Structure 1
Amino acid sequence: MKTLNVMLSLSPEACRAYYEGRAEQVHAYSTDGRRIAFPAVALRRVVTREGVNGIYCLQVSDQGRLLGIHRVANLPAS
């Protein structure tokens, strides 16, 4: 199993498109600069009323299948 950390900052309105199924994939960059895509349904596990904001750890199988997602940190203050 591999892990990837991604920074996500999505407003509640942006999350709605993912939640309602109008968008199937989330495109993001890992903290080490790789461009990744993962199924939007995974956001349902981490979305709050404020959207999705923070650094999240994606657990990925050796075959590239998303196994889990969880928040590991807040985004740094700007």
Structure 2
Amino acid sequence: MPAIDVVIHLSESECLAHYEGRYANVRTRSVDGRWVVFPAEALRRVVTREGVQGIFRLEFSDQGRFVSIQPLSKR
């Protein structure tokens, strides 16, 4: 299953905007500099009171559909 590591820095208010559906996708950079877009609903699995901060591994199906998100480190 393809995976990519991304850096995410979203404040509590930015996460709320995604949660409320004002944004359907999240756009962020991978650790190797590529732009990555994935569904905003994925943040619900990793959001804390401080937002979403750190490096996360995104896994995708062979067809390119989002499957999972896992925290690798916090910053």
**TM tier, smaller:** over 0.9
TM-score when normalising by structure 2: 0.96
Match of 1:11 in 2: 11
> Which residues of structure 1 form unaligned runs of 5+?
none
How many residues align structurally?
Answer: 75
Query: Counterparts of 1:1-78 in structure 2 under 5 Å?
Result: 1-75=1-75
**Distance in 1 between the 2:11 and 2:36 partners?**
20
Q: Shift of residue 30 of structure 1?
A: 0.6
Of all paired residues, the percent bearing the same amino acid is: 51
Moved over 3 A (4+): none
TM-score when normalising by structure 1: 0.92
**Distance in 1 between the 2:17 and 2:64 partners?**
24
